Amino acid sequence: MAEPAKNLKNAKTAITPTREENFPEWYQNVIKAADMAENAPVRGCMIIKPYGFSVWENIQKHFDRMIKAEEVQNAYFPLLIPLSYIAREAEHIEGFAKECAVVTHHRLSKNEKGELAADPASILTEPMIIRPTSETIIGESMHNWVQSYRDLPLKLNQWCNVMRWEMRPRVFLRTTEFLWQEGHNAFATAEEADRDARRMLEVYRDFIENYLAVPVIAGSKTPEERFPGAIETYTVEAFMQDGKALQSATSHNLGQTFAKSSDIKYLDKDGTQKLAWTTSWGMSTRTIGGLIMVHGDDDGMIMPPRVAPHQVAILPFVKDDADKANILEFCEKIQKELRSKDISVQTDKSDARSSDKMWAAIKKGVPVRLEVGAREIAEGQLTLTRRDLGKDGKVKVPVAECAAKIAAALEQMQKDLLANARKRLQSQITDVKSLKDVRDYFAAEKQGGLKLDYSLVKGSEEFAAIKQEYAVTTRCLPFEDNGQKVIVAKAY
Amino acid sequence: MAEPAKNLKNAKTAITPTREENFPEWYQNVIKAADMAENAPVRGCMIIKPYGFSVWENIQKHFDRMIKAEEVQNAYFPLLIPLSYIAREAEHIEGFAKECAVVTHHRLSKNEKGELAADPASILTEPMIIRPTSETIIGESMHNWVQSYRDLPLKLNQWCNVMRWEMRPRVFLRTTEFLWQEGHNAFATAEEADRDARRMLEVYRDFIENYLAVPVIAGSKTPEERFPGAIETYTVEAFMQDGKALQSATSHNLGQTFAKSSDIKYLDKDGTQKLAWTTSWGMSTRTIGGLIMVHGDDDGMIMPPRVAPHQVAILPFVKDDADKANILEFCEKIQKELRSKDISVQTDKSDARSSDKMWAAIKKGVPVRLEVGAREIAEGQLTLTRRDLGKDGKVKVPVAECAAKIAAALEQMQKDLLANARKRLQSQITDVKSLKDVRDYFAAEKQGGLKLDYSLVKGSEEFAAIKQEYAVTTRCLPFEDNGQKVIVAKAY
């Protein structure tokens, strides 16, 4: 197994502060150095820049294929939800739908001062909210579309923007507007719904581990942490390098909560009308924040090859202008060959200095760098460097074997990233025996997840006090412990 | 060249009314029969159902590849635009940004009557509007991102939802919320900007003709019809079967309008600060409406193979239950083989009657139907029917040649749809010599486009009266006539 990248010899890092010095600031600076996103002028919102958006496009491409294999169909439902729809499901409002953007007018006009303003004459008879999630409006469609048992299961998904007003926004992790997919499935029986909610969580686990190379702990949420209206919330929890947890995707068994409030009924084979059972499941641009905090190092981002905007950076190193045309032509040939093998690649044709080209690719976390200079061409050997191995991992590869060696390096890197992150995850979870252990751990300002008997936590006033005092949360009851244990950690 | 499908012998059509009887109602009923979309409970909005959304996914897939080949990068900008941004560009507001959703509050709470309502305490200091288009907010980013001539050209695109409050909504054609792509490019010189605006129009023409099989007339808009703030608007205009025009995509040379209002400046090679030149270009879910009105017939939708949700419907015709397992297994084999050849296919495994299966596929416009019954298996010959040729186009194909014959049929059908539509388009445009001819044409309730000298129309009061009286518009000054002629027609 490969070791994580070491800092370069002179101990200068591309990102300051380092992870150890100040993790939250390091995070912001990695995003900036990799040119992935920035805060929008609109409070709480972000602009996803091309390099960051390309990661989201890759997430969409692969995950969309996986959900279609589950016979889920994509569709599109309205952005605006009438207030009366939200008001239908009391528990849903309480826990959820309060901090949201409210649309009250449908026209602008000039007011008496000659300033542009909401036209008072255009006030809506019923205000609308921008969807924070779409259970209520998709429930209305399910009510219309589901008539008989033959219409079930009904599995729908939409890729869209949603909005939840955030007072303490952080790029990717918590933004007022974010992008996500929301799946909404309906079934004839309780058993099918629960099986589906667990199945979709397994699809998330598979995707997050095998594409994002982020290992997760899969389990159930405690009743207090469930999605409002759900009878079970299943979750995959990842752990960042600072020891905090990040909920990476959730899948909810909604029981008949929304079937009741939206009146989703079907005529069963036995001739009687029955209420359906529904699930919902979502994953958002927040996973990109997790990707950064799991894989990044003090030199910047490290992209897992399967979702990297480009997997290879070809770096033409031009020492003598006379060689330039020749080197660029050679790079073009290599680029073409790699693309023909389905390897995504970008050549840095700028006039930047060689070291600047190298550092730009490092900060962006391009999985493999390929240095091409006059000497390399003369020798017929290119220098290949894996981002996660750093200088120690440099290898010379004969030109003819270049594509095959790169493909192998990408595959190995994908595996190594996951294996290293899994090793770290294991070291981040500590088994403890008592609430005193929990208190001592967080009082000592240690960071990480604790695992203990759920019976010690459930209904405990002492635990409630610890939660409050140290801002820790119950992350999940891991499946592997059959609901007997609970993971406690600070979280994003 | 193939002839359009004829009605079946008994003259019964799957869609009533027919196109001739009532074109607008026929349109709505085709959408319903093909299960593509429906009106949302939210006024003016639509729900795009899985079969309709799949067309949009195919449009996105192909067009996204084409714009990436133009070195356009995808990104994502906020949904909400502060009022002050919109207020910056006066002409833009006048022509555009008035009928829009206004967000005034960010929280719901219970009022004194105990009802859920916008919380008065959460009123925004500055109202926001839901983007009707994003020139102003992307302009702000361009202002930040563009520093030097090295940062240009900058070519950005986003696939997103936008909102323009519609008083007379029609599914796909005119909806309060719709999906689209909006491209926003910035350049150092006026020449580059105009070349780009024309280039992106050419990409639209290529896509709309060669993927949607919809022939278009490309040209410039008259000054009155330009996008507010543009110095040139280029357009591709399609003609529907009822003779009305549909603006299918537009590309704008925005000159320095938005560069001025957003202060997009760059340091040029000569050391001086210069204002950039920008363009924008968009195509929306409205093109799906055009697809229906150009290709559909009195039996329902006809999908061009390149954007069809599935290109082949395999229809197992089971007369004797004893044959069922055998027939389905055979269909499975065929389906697998077609998929291995990148042909998208769906097998109707329902218990519906054979004729119902056939009519369902016809109404959905599946390009090729493949009938598989016990006799077909025994004879080793399958019945292949092209949707656009109807019964007369039925052919028997040996099982072994099935995939190759289908691939050829799909390719030919794609060509035939375009060729037939182009023939019709040519017949729909009439050259006329005077404004009297124009008046006579529309007074006689004829439908179609008229082409005449632009000099007769420009600034003419008589033409203004005709426009008013017959609700006709100038569609474009076709490129092919070098701006000397104008197309006049009613339009969607």
Question: Are B161 and A160 an interchain contact pair (Cβ–Cβ within 8 Å)?
Answer: yes
A267 shares a domain with A374: no
Nearest chain A residue to B120 by CA distance is A102
B165:A107 CB<8 A: yes
- pLDDT per position as a tens digit, A364-381: 999 999 999 999 999 999
Q: Give yes or no for a contact between B117 and A83, defined as CB atoms under 8 angstroms apart.
A: yes
User: What's the DSSP call for residue B381?
Assistant: E
Question: Which tens digit of pLDDT belongs to each residue from A411-433?
Answer: 999 999 999 999 999 999 999 99
Judged by CB atoms closer than 8 Å, whether chains meet at A74 and B83 is answered as no
| Average pLDDT estimate for A181-187 | 98
What residue in B sits closest to A52 (Cα-Cα)?
Answer: B75
**Averaged pLDDT, A233-244:** 98
Q: Do A80 and B57 touch (CB under 8 A)?
A: no
* For testing contact with chain A, the best of B81, B85, B102 (most A CBs within 10 A): B102
CB atoms within 10 A of CB B269: 9
Question: Distance, in angstroms, between A341 CA and closest chain B CA?
Answer: 18
Residue B3 lies in a domain: no
Instruction: Report residue A323: phi and psi, to 5°.
Output: -85, -10
Using the beta-carbon criterion (under 8 Å), do B42 and A81 form an inter-chain contact? yes
d(CA B18, CA B388): 17
Q: How far is B315 from chain A (nearest CA, A)?
A: 19
Is residue A64 one of the residues assigned to a domain?
yes
Q: What is the pLDDT of residues B127-181, one digit of tens each?
A: 999 999 999 999 999 999 999 999 999 999 999 999 999 989 999 999 999 999 9
Residue A113 carries which side chain, given as an amino acid letter? K
In angstroms, what is the C-alpha Rg of chain B?
A: 26
Name the residue among A352, A355, A312, A356 with its Cα closest to residue A334: A312
* Of the partner residues B93, B100, B108, the one whose CB lies closest to the CB of residue A98: B108
* pLDDT, average across residues A328-355: 96
Q: Which of B47, B122, B154 to mutate to test the interface with A (most CBs of A within 10 A)?
A: B47
Per CB-CB distance under 8 Å, the chain A contacts of B86 are: 108, 116
Examine the fold and report which residue of B229, B260, B295 is the final residue of a domain before the chain moves on.
B295
In this structure, are residues A338 and A354 in contact, taking their beta carbons and an 8 Å threshold?
no
Listed residue (A297, A172, A304) closest to A246, CA to CA: A172
Nearest CB to A108 within list B56, B102, B122: B102
Question: Range with the lowest mean pLDDT among A6-20, A52-66, A124-138, B175-189?
Answer: A6-20
Residue among A78, A83, A118 whose CB faces B177 most closely = A78
**Hey, are the CB atoms on B47 and A76 less than 8 Å from each other?**
yes
Assess if residue A369 is contained within a domain: yes
Query: Which one of B374, B409, B444 terminates a domain?
Result: B409
Angstrom CA distances, B261 to A38, B24, B190, B271, B346, stand at 22, 41, 17, 23, 52
In the 8-state DSSP scheme, what is residue B481?
G
Same-domain pairing of A370 and A409: yes
What distance in Å separates the CA atoms of residue A49 and residue A113, rounded to the nearest whole number?
38
Candidates B40, B109, B128; nearest CB to A98: B109
**Chain A residues whose beta carbon lies within 8 Å of the beta carbon of residue B57:** 74
Residue of A nearest to B118 (CA): A102
Q: B98 and A107 in contact by Cβ < 8 A?
A: yes
Q: Residue B8: what pLDDT? A: 46
- Averaged pLDDT score across all residues of chain A: 95
pLDDT surpassing 50 at residue A8: no
| pLDDT tens string A432-483 | 999 999 999 999 999 999 999 999 999 999 999 999 999 999 999 999 999 9
Q: Is residue B111 part of a domain?
A: no
Domain identity same for B273 and B401: no
Instruction: Verify that B86 and B216 share a domain, yes or no.
Output: yes
Which of B51, B44, B59 is CA-nearest to residue B30?
B51
Q: CB distance A108–B115 less than 8 Å? A: no
pLDDT above 80: residue A95: no
- Cβ of A87 and B116 within 8 Å? yes
Closest alpha carbon within chain B to A352:
B150
Closest in A49, A78, A130 to B40, CB measured: A78
Task: Give the helix/strand (H/E) hosting B448.
Answer: none
B177 and B122 co-located in one domain: yes
At residue B170, φ and ψ (nearest 5 deg) are -140, 130
A contacts of B93 (beta carbons < 8 Å) = 108, 116
Structure tokens at B61: 């897939």
Closest approach of A184 to chain B, Cα-based (Å): 13
Q: Which residue of A has its CA nearest to B178?
A: A78
Q: Chain B closest CA to A177's CA: distance in Å?
A: 7
Distance in angstroms (rounded) separating the CA atoms of residues A293 and A24: 9
Contact predicate A472/A244, CB 8 Å = no
Q: How many domains does chain B have?
A: 3
pLDDT at B223: 96
Predicted pLDDT at A6 = 47
Which of the listed residues A401, A425, A449 is the one where a domain comes to its end? A425
pLDDT band, very low/low/confident/very high, at A202 (cuts 50, 70, 90): very high
**Contact at CB, A50 and B74, closer than 8 angstroms:** yes
- Domain shared by A404 and A274, yes or no: no
- Taking an 8 Å cut-off on Cβ atoms, the answer to whether B177 and A80 are in contact is yes
Q: Is residue B182 domain-shared with residue B281, that is, in the same domain?
A: yes
Most B CBs within 10 A among A32, A93, A98, A102, hence the mutation to make, goes to A102
Q: Do A170 and A258 belong together in one domain?
A: yes
Name the nearest CA neighbour of B367 among B298, B294, B306.
B306
Per-residue pLDDT of chain B (492 residues), as tens digits, is 344 444 444 558 999 999 999 999 999 999 999 999 999 999 899 999 999 999 999 999 999 999 999 999 999 999 999 999 988 877 777 766 689 999 999 999 988 988 899 999 999 999 999 999 999 999 999 999 999 999 999 999 999 999 999 989 999 999 999 999 999 999 999 999 999 999 999 999 999 999 999 999 999 999 999 999 999 999 999 999 999 999 999 999 999 999 999 999 999 999 999 999 999 999 999 999 999 999 999 999 999 999 999 999 999 999 998 999 999 999 999 999 999 999 999 999 999 999 999 999 999 999 999 999 999 999 999 999 999 998 888 999 999 999 999 999 999 999 999 999 999 999 999 999 999 999 999 999 999 999 999 999 999 999 999 999 999 999 999 999 999 999 999 999
Contact B453, B485 (CB under 8 A): yes
Report CB contact under 8 Å: B108, A45.
no
Shortest CA gap A130–chain B (Å): 9
Q: What single DSSP character describes residue B96?
A: T
Examine the domain organization and report whether B230 and B96 are in the same domain: yes
In chain A, the percentage of residues whose pLDDT exceeds 90 is 91
Distance from CA of A118 to the nearest CA of B (A): 7
pLDDT score recorded for residue B10? 52
* Three state DSSP letters for chain A: CCCCCCCCCCCCCCCCCCCCCCHHHHHHHHHHHCCCEEECCCCCCEEECHHHHHHHHHHHHHHHHHHHCCCCEECECCCEEEHHHHHCCHHHHHHCCCCCCEEEECCEEECCCCCEEECHHHEEEEEEEECCCCHHHHHHHHHHHCCEHHHCCEEEEEEEEEECCCCCCECCCECCEEEEEEEEEEECCHHHHHHHHHHHHHHHHHHHHHCCCCCCEEEECCHHHCCCCCCEEEEEEEECCCCCEEEEEEEEECCCHHHHHHCCEEECCCCCEEECEEEEEEEECHHHHHHHHHHCECCECCCCHHHCCCCEEEEEECCCHHHHHHHHHHHHHHHHHHHHCCCCEEECCCCCCHHHHHHHHHHHCCCEEEEEEHHHHHHCEEEEEECCCHHHHCEEEEHHHHHHHHHHHHHHHHHHHHHHHHHHHHHHEEECCCHHHHHHHHHCCCCCEEEEEHHHHCCCHHHHHHHHHHCCEEEEEEHHHCCCEEEEECEC
Q: Tell whether B128 and B178 lie within a shared domain.
A: yes
Query: Does residue A290 sit within a domain?
Result: yes
How far is it, in rounded angstroms, from Cα B421 to Cα B407? 22
Are the beta carbons of A116 and B161 separated by less than 8 Å? Answer: no
- Cβ contact B57–A74 (<8 Å): yes
Nearest CA-CA distance, residue A52 and chain B, Å: 8
Residue B175 lies in a domain: yes
ipTM, 2 dp = 0.95
Closest Cβ–Cβ partner in B76, B80, B109 for A53: B76
Q: Cα separation of A351 and B446, whole Å?
A: 62
CATH number, domain of A397, equals: 3.40.50.800
Is there a contact between A109 and B118 if contact means CB atoms under 8 Å apart? Answer: no
pLDDT of residue A1: 38
In A, which residues are within 8 Å of B122 by CB distance? 102
Average pLDDT over residues A98-114: 92
* Helix (H) / strand (E) containing B278: strand B277-284
Nearest by CB to residue A161, choosing from B47, B101, B161, is B161
The residue count of chain A comes to 492
In DSSP notation, B40-61 reads -SSTT-EEE-HHHHHHHHHHHH
Instruction: Measure the CA–CA gap between A60 and A53, rounded to whole angstroms.
Output: 10
* In a shared domain, residues B248 and B191: yes
Q: Phi/psi at B349 (nearest 5 deg)?
A: -90, 10
Residues A247 and A378 in one domain: no
Residue type, position B60, single letter = Q
* CATH number of the CATH domain containing A266: 3.30.930.10
Report how far residue B279's alpha carbon sits from residue B184's, in angstroms, rounded to the nearest whole number.
6
Tell me whether residues B83 and A116 touch, CB distance under 8 A. yes
Q: Please check whether residue A198 is in contact with residue A251, taking contact to mean a CB–CB distance below 8 angstroms.
A: yes
| B97 with A108: Cβ contact below 8 A | yes
List b or e across A91-125, with b for residues whose CB sees 16 or more CB atoms inside 10 angstroms: ebbeebbbbbbbbbbbbbeeeeeeebbbbeebebe
Beta-bridge partners for A299: none
- Calculate the CA dihedral of residues B60, B62, B67, B71 and round it to 10 degrees: 120
Asked if B108 and A100 come within 8 Å (Cβ–Cβ), the reply is: yes
**Sign of torsion over alpha carbons B118, B121, B124, B127:** positive
pLDDT above 50: residue A5: no
Residue B7 belongs to a domain: no
User: End-to-end CA distance of chain B, in Å?
Assistant: 29
CA A29, A35, A41: angle at the middle one, nearest 5?
Answer: 85
What residues of chain B lie within 8 A of the CB of A177, using their CB? 78-80
pLDDT attached to residue A97: 65
| Spatial CA neighbour of B437 closest among B452, B427, B454, B425 | B452
- Residue in chain A closest to B88 (alpha carbons) equals A116
Residue of B65, B76, B92, B171 best to disrupt the A interface, most CBs of A under 10 A: B76
Classify residue B174 by its DSSP letter: B
Residue A300 domain-assigned?
A: no
Give the DSSP letter of residue B67: H
pLDDT category, A11, cuts 50, 70, 90? low
For the stretch A6-36, what's the b/e string if a residue is b when 16 or more beta carbons lie within 10 angstroms of its beta carbon?
eeeeeeebbbeebbeeebeebbbbbbebbbb
- A165 interaction partners in chain B (CB closer than 8 Å): 106-107
* Position A165 pLDDT exceeds 70: yes
The count of CB pairs under 8 A between chains A and B is 174
Can you give the residue range of the structural domain that contains B384?
312-409
Closest chain B residue to A88, measured at CA:
B116
User: Is the CB of A83 less than 8 angstroms away from the CB of B160?
Assistant: no
pLDDT digits (tens, 9 = 90+) for B435-456: 999 999 999 999 999 999 999 9
